[in-house]
């Protein structure tokens, strides 16, 4: 019963955050586009951050931007995206535009000295990612901050999950992410090739970045990728199934569907480690010099994309003890299962700010502000990691015989 009460309380607080008073000079944010994701990704988290204020929004349609500002309590409406960038009061720019517009407006904002929180996927392809994240504007003693908003990586549950992963020992991993078929209309921008659409671009940005971190490296190749094209644009994938080969011989799989059936609802990760020799202390037994213990670990992370709502990390270990001289002779075999949940860093035994009801976006905003303010950032998505995510997506498109999303001119 207590667990159900905590679940209800936590989820109510996620959608009904208590607004905190602001510091004397908070970071001022401008939003490019009246995007559906912005209320959850920035506007709501900003209410509970004392050092963040949303100052202005701009959209292609001024009336739409005005209605959006009134709905979400945004003080100013600008006539254009460029007006946001030109405003000297604005410190940071949030870019939730269609993927195909990310590169242009991120570059414009960075060149104007604005810090940029850029929705994922960061850009359209690897070439654009290299041009953006290795741009000279990001070098120097005090460059502007640029962060790809891979928000799930900032939640304590992901940090806890990774403590059970030994990247060098991972034999296989699979990441799946589904979106119910009613979520996006057939003419949604996710199905427009010219705007960087496709399921791999949208859902694959999560699954590819997860595999990259689990294996601790970018894949060597995408061995196969099966896609189902959208009904609007044959160059845009509605769903995908990809298989990668990683350095060391490990294999990773990822699946995603923008029109999934209702029985596919939970975004999960499954990881299997190779058999590894462990110490007597790790095995929890006493060993003679002629014996050794071996462990095979399997992990399932349920709801890895939005763990704040409800998640579970299940660890299944199988142990064997055998003679060093005869590894086939099993002296003892046993199993251990544990389920872990982690909604705050305190629960993970880490001294770091956070509340159980903070969604992934709030944890992400905390670190973005820390980086801008020159403070320590325990969780971060570095620029090379963002490039490698696009590299793996491009591998999948190539294996599927689909063109890469177009490079900006």
The answer on 35 and 69 residing in a single domain is yes
Active site residue 71: no
Contacts of 24 (CB under 8 A, 6+ apart): none
Distances in whole angstroms, Cα of residue 397 to Cα of each of 240, 254, 323, 394: 10, 13, 48, 5
Q: What's residue 13's pLDDT?
A: 81
The answer on 157 and 118 residing in a single domain is no
Assess contact for 102 and 123: CB atoms under 8 A: yes
Q: Strand order in 115-118's β-sheet?
A: 76-78, 52-58, 27-32, 92-95, 115-118, 146-148
Specify if 405 maps to a domain.
Answer: no
Q: What's residue 385's pLDDT?
A: 97
Q: How far apart are CA 160 and CA 272, in angstroms?
A: 17
The answer on 303 and 166 residing in a single domain is yes
Q: What's residue 12's pLDDT?
A: 83
Specify the CATH number for the domain of residue 89.
3.40.50.720
Backbone angles phi, psi at 173, to 5 degrees: -150, 150
Specify if 404 maps to a domain.
Answer: no
Specify if 314 maps to a domain.
Answer: yes
The answer on 260 and 133 residing in a single domain is no
Q: What's residue 187's pLDDT?
A: 78
Domain, as residue range, for 78: 17-149
Q: How far apart are CA 93 and CA 81, in angstroms?
A: 10
- Any idea which residue has 């405003």 for tokens? 87
Specify the CATH number for the domain of residue 181.
3.30.360.10
The answer on 130 and 88 residing in a single domain is yes
Catalytic residue from among 53, 120, 174, 259: 120
Q: How far apart are CA 278 and CA 293, in angstroms?
A: 6
The Cβ of residue 192 has, within 10 Å, a number of other Cβ atoms equal to 19
The answer on 260 and 246 residing in a single domain is yes
Assess contact for 207 and 177: CB atoms under 8 A: yes
Assess contact for 399 and 223: CB atoms under 8 A: yes
Q: Which of 149, 175, 210 is the last residue of a domain?
A: 149
The answer on 161 and 140 residing in a single domain is no
Assess contact for 157 and 343: CB atoms under 8 A: yes
Pairing state of beta strands 52-58 and 27-32?
parallel
Q: What is the SS3 string spanning 140-158?
A: CCCCCCEEECCHHHHCHHH
Structure tokens at 55: 């100052």
pLDDT tens for the chain, 409 residues: list them.
557 777 788 878 888 888 889 999 999 999 999 999 999 999 999 999 999 999 999 999 999 999 999 999 999 999 999 999 999 999 999 999 999 999 999 999 999 999 999 999 999 999 999 999 999 999 988 999 999 999 999 999 999 999 999 999 999 999 999 988 888 887 788 899 999 999 999 999 999 999 999 999 999 999 999 999 988 899 999 999 999 999 999 999 999 999 888 777 779 999 999 999 999 999 889 998 889 999 999 999 999 999 999 999 999 999 999 998 887 789 899 999 999 999 999 999 999 999 999 999 999 999 999 999 999 999 999 999 999 999 999 999 999 999 999 998 7
Q: Which of 114, 149, 184 is the last residue of a domain?
A: 149
Q: What's residue 1's pLDDT?
A: 54
Longest dimension (CA), the chain: 78
Q: Is 325 exposed, middle or buried (0-12, 13-18, 19+ CB in 10 A)?
A: exposed
Structure tokens at 406: 């177009």
Q: Which of 119, 149, 179 is the last residue of a domain?
A: 149
Q: Is 177 exposed, middle or buried (0-12, 13-18, 19+ CB in 10 A)?
A: buried
Q: Residues of 162-176 as b/e, b for ≥16 C-beta within 10 angstroms? A: eebbebebbbbbbbb
Q: What's residue 203's pLDDT?
A: 97
Backbone angles phi, psi at 146, to 5 degrees: -130, 125
Specify if 8 maps to a domain.
Answer: no
């Amino acid at each position: 019963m207590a667990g159900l009460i905590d679940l209800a309380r936590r989820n109510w607080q996620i959608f009904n955050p208590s607004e905190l008073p602001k510091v004397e000079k908070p970071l001022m944010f401008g939003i490019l586009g009246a995007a559906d994701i912005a209320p959850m990704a920035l506007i709501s988290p900003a209410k509970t951050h004392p050092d963040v204020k949303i100052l202005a929004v701009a959209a292609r349609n001024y009336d739409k931007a005005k209605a959006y500002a009134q709905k979400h309590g945004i003080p100013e409406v600008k006539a254009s995206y460029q007006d946001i960038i030109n405003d000297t009061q604005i410190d940071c720019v949030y870019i939730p535009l269609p993927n195909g517009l990310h590169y242009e407006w991120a570059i414009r904002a960075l060149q104007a000295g604005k810090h940029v929180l850029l929705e994922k996927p960061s850009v359209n392809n690897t070439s654009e990612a290299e041009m953006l994240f290795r741009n000279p504007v990001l070098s120097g003693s005090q460059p502007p901050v640029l962060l790809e908003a891979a928000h799930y990586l900032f939640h304590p549950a992901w940090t806890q999950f990774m403590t059970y992963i030994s990247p060098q020992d991972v034999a296989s991993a699979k990441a799946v992410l589904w979106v119910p078929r009613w979520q996006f209309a057939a003419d949604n921008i996710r199905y427009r090739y010219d705007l960087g659409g496709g399921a791999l671009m949208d859902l694959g940005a999560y699954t590819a970045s997860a595999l990259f971190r689990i294996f601790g490296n970018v894949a060597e190749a995408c061995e196969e990728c099966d896609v189902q094209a959208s009904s609007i644009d044959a160059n845009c994938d509605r769903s995908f199934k990809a298989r990668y080969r990683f350095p060391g011989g490990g294999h990773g799989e990822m699946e995603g569907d923008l029109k999934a059936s209702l029985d596919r609802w939970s975004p999960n990760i499954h990881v299997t480690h190779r058999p590894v020799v462990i110490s007597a202390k790790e095995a929890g037994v006493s060993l003679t010099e002629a014996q050794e213990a071996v462990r095979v670990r399997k992990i399932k992370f349920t709801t890895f994309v939005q763990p704040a709502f409800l998640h579970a990390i299940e660890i299944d270990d199988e142990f064997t003890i055998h003679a060093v001289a005869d590894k086939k002779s099993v002296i003892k075999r046993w199993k251990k299962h544990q389920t872990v949940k982690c909604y705050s860093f305190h629960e993970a035994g880490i001294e770091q700010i956070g509340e159980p009801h903070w969604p992934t976006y709030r944890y992400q905003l905390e670190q973005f502000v820390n980086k801008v303010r020159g403070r320590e950032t325990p969780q971060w998505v570095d620029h090379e990691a963002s490039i490698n995510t696009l590299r793996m997506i491009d591998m999948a498109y190539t294996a599927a015989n689909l063109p890469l999303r177009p490079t900006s001119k």
